[in-house]
Amino acid sequence: MIPVLSGTALALLALGYVLYPLFREEWAPSRPIAPNRIQKGKASTAIDALREIEFDHATGKLSDHDYSQLKASYTDRAIASMRSETMLSAEADAVICPACGPRPEATAVFCSNCGRALAL
């Protein structure tokens, strides 16, 4: 009876020693973010779709006619999304000269047109 109890105690101790790192906070594996939960912009979504239809066409899943229609549609969407995202980021980072208006240099201290000091 004693050997069974001591064997069980040793097995539980070994199991605890092996599993201990899994219960520690800094060693616990982090749960990965599901790919569909990652926030993406419209441009990256359209680019992903372009990659997908390119792959489908290369593997023979899409006909040439369908491929050309889908490629044109998603290319237009990607370009429009990239332009709108660029415009939004440019407006957010715009530096404004009192005389010349918005300047393209986001980190400028002086206006590149008239030389006035820009308010930061």
> Is position 84 within any domain?
yes
- Residue 69 included in any domain: yes
**How many domains would you assign to the chain?**
1
Number of continuous H segments (helices) and E segments (strands) in the chain: 3, 2
Whether pTM > 0.75 for this model: the answer is no
Domain enclosing residue 93, as ranges: 2-29+39-103
Please write the tens of the pLDDT for every residue from 62-71: 899 999 999 9
Dihedral of CA atoms 54, 55, 60, 62 in degrees, nearest 10, equals -50
Is 34 inside a domain boundary? no
User: Distance between the two ends of the chain, CA-based, in angstroms?
Assistant: 82
Residue 1 tokens, joined = 């009876």
Q: Is there a contact between 103 and 94 (Cβ–Cβ < 8 Å)? A: yes
Q: Domain for residue 59, yes or no?
A: yes
Classify residue 45: in a domain, yes or no. yes
Note whether residue 115 is domain-resident.
no
The pLDDT, as a whole number, for residue 67 is 92
> Distances from the Cα of 56 to the Cαs of 3, 17, 45, 71, in angstroms?
64, 50, 16, 11
Let me know if residue 118 belongs to a domain: no
- Kindly state whether residue 116 falls inside one of the protein's structural domains: no
With cut-offs at 50, 70 and 90, classify the pLDDT of residue 59.
Answer: very high
Q: Which residues, in sequence order, are CB contacts of 97 under 8 Å at separation 6+?
A: 103, 111, 113, 114, 116, 118
